A and B are shown apart, each in its own frame.
Chain A
């Protein structure tokens, strides 16, 4: 098709403008984010001081894999992160459904309440939890009274980490699921019911497929934020070198084993990126297959 030069040039300039608007973001990512990553990468293969200088080494990576507890730490990290994802799903999906249902009166207030953990500083929130979960607290006394055992409460347990992370990361799940639920209309569930679907089938066959992209992206965000989190883990999980994020923090800032910490950080990055890519791939594929199928059959 012939395009008039004036139209073409205005199209070009529109594209140029939109690219120009992306420039600051690109710059920010290139310098601060990628630059930082490269520094960590360099640190992770840098030759430790004292050893013959020059060249690169995989010693730090060997160090990471060689240390006995690392496998347990990684497993625990994955386990706690998955538990957090599960917790956020169980709690977050009903909340997201509530705030997106047209008849809900309190949705604004509920949304604010759900988002509120993000508005409190991490330190403030966590010291609150310590007072709440810790020895001598109501919860600790109650648990001791119920189950016996040592009166330390939940503090310094995996349960505390999972509960804390779930609370902190719930807003991401709720927002993500709520935004994807915009595609769902109450009338669809009425239609399904009128066609003989039980309320459970409506949920599984109509609503869930529609909010699945939101569930997937919410799960990815929560998962990656919990694997990399260290403040919550450090303070609620106690001094045990529990989770990968905390281990990295200790290596770099406390024990001055920067190379080992950097190597661990790179490994964590690779694992998380790989898992996310896999999840996105499966999620996107479902939709793409549909789209291309529709397009090839269409017109």
Chain B
């Protein structure tokens, strides 16, 4: 299985931001290893990964705050290695905003323009534009400490965008907002980034956020890119067991391969007396131990009849916002989701689960890797 997956985008087009085999050790640990990434002009790329996977370190390397041990970072064909941070022309927003507390909202947003010696009238006009775009007009004279979290977040965005950087890096910009605000600001950010047309990398550990905002998403784990693709690709064609497990909290169970069908690239597997189908990424020989991933909303349950003996029983219901989730028990325990108006299935009812083979994913269980990868 390859570490990086084809980046998509028109093949003849040269990527605007190119990372090649970027590696970084911190305190003796490989924090990033062989990271290659292409971001095309005007794209919004999501960088998704669990805590400690190296997302912030990667942004620090692109921003020039951390030296890389190996590899290269290029923007528009130019190698950035020797370029100090203040000459990179990359806008950054930080998880804790890092606004300048001694400056007003106006002066925070105008800070970058001042560094560029933009004349006063133009500065006033451009800051005014940013204030208007981000709905901050009434707050120009306020100091950061008197702003709400959402307002501070928008000031941070305005401050970075005011200088019209060629690349924007956003490090978990919504992490400090409450759930309702997060939903709203999420789309505001997308609209603003779209309307400015700036190429951006959006870091998050929230997959809903990444999928809602980004054209393409890179999944990072333990300093390695697991997969890069559109949200649909990550959901329906996970590249490996980690991505399959990480996206959409699927059912996970072990089984062994009964039969491999080269034509459909799928297997039949057996677990105790339960058999099912799943698609695979590589040919597997019968008897191979696999892990099978299938998301609850792909699992269809039908009441068992006399023809097919029931192997599963409904154990319990859980009510979720999106519908009801049934726990069914048999050789394995599975979660299945049904719309709330679905037929009533009482506890203890005999049922049969099934799914479309291409919606379940099986990966061979590799011999336990050394500690670093078992997150």
Query: Range of interface residues on chain B?
Result: 20 to 34
Contact (Cβ within 8 A) A187 B94: yes
Known: A197-B115, A210-B101. Contact between A297 and B86, CB under 8 A?
A: no
Known: A293-B141, A294-B143, A297-B142. Contact between A194 and B85, CB under 8 A?
A: yes
Contact (Cβ within 8 A) A294 B160: no
Contact (Cβ within 8 A) B86 A196: yes
Contact (Cβ within 8 A) A194 B91: yes
Contact (Cβ within 8 A) B102 A209: yes
Contacts of A198 in B (CB 8 A): 86, 115
Contact (Cβ within 8 A) B86 A185: no
Query: Range of interface residues on chain A?
Result: 20 to 34
Contacts of A197 in B (CB 8 A): 86, 111-112, 115
Q: Which residue of chain B is the closest to A185 with respect to CB atoms?
A: B98
Inter-chain CA distance A295–B104, complex, in Å, is 12
User: Which residues of A, 206-262, contact B by the 8 Å Cβ criterion?
Assistant: 206, 209-210
Contact (Cβ within 8 A) B141 A193: no
Q: Which of B91, B112, B115, B165 has the most CB of A within 10 A?
A: B115
B146 at interface by CB-CB < 8 Å: yes
Contact (Cβ within 8 A) B89 A190: no
B88 at interface by CB-CB < 8 Å: yes
User: Which residues of A, 267-299, contact B by the 8 Å Cβ criterion?
Assistant: 290, 293-295, 297-298
Contacts of A209 in B (CB 8 A): 102
Contact (Cβ within 8 A) A195 B115: yes
Jot down 10 A-B pairs with beta carbons below 8 A, ordered by A.
A185-B96, A190-B65, A190-B98, A192-B111, A193-B85, A196-B87, A196-B89, A196-B116, A197-B86, A297-B141
| 16 new A-B contacts at CB < 8 Å, known A191-B94, A196-B89 | A187-B96, A188-B98, A190-B98, A191-B98, A191-B159, A193-B84, A194-B63, A194-B85, A194-B91, A194-B160, A196-B87, A196-B115, A198-B115, A205-B111, A210-B102, A293-B141
Closest 9 CB pairs of A and B: A195-B112, A187-B98, A196-B115, A193-B85, A294-B143, A297-B141, A194-B92, A187-B94, A209-B102
* Chain B residues with a Cβ under 8 A of chain A: 60, 63-65, 84-92, 94, 96, 98-102, 104, 111-112, 115-116, 141-143, 145-146, 159-160, 163, 165
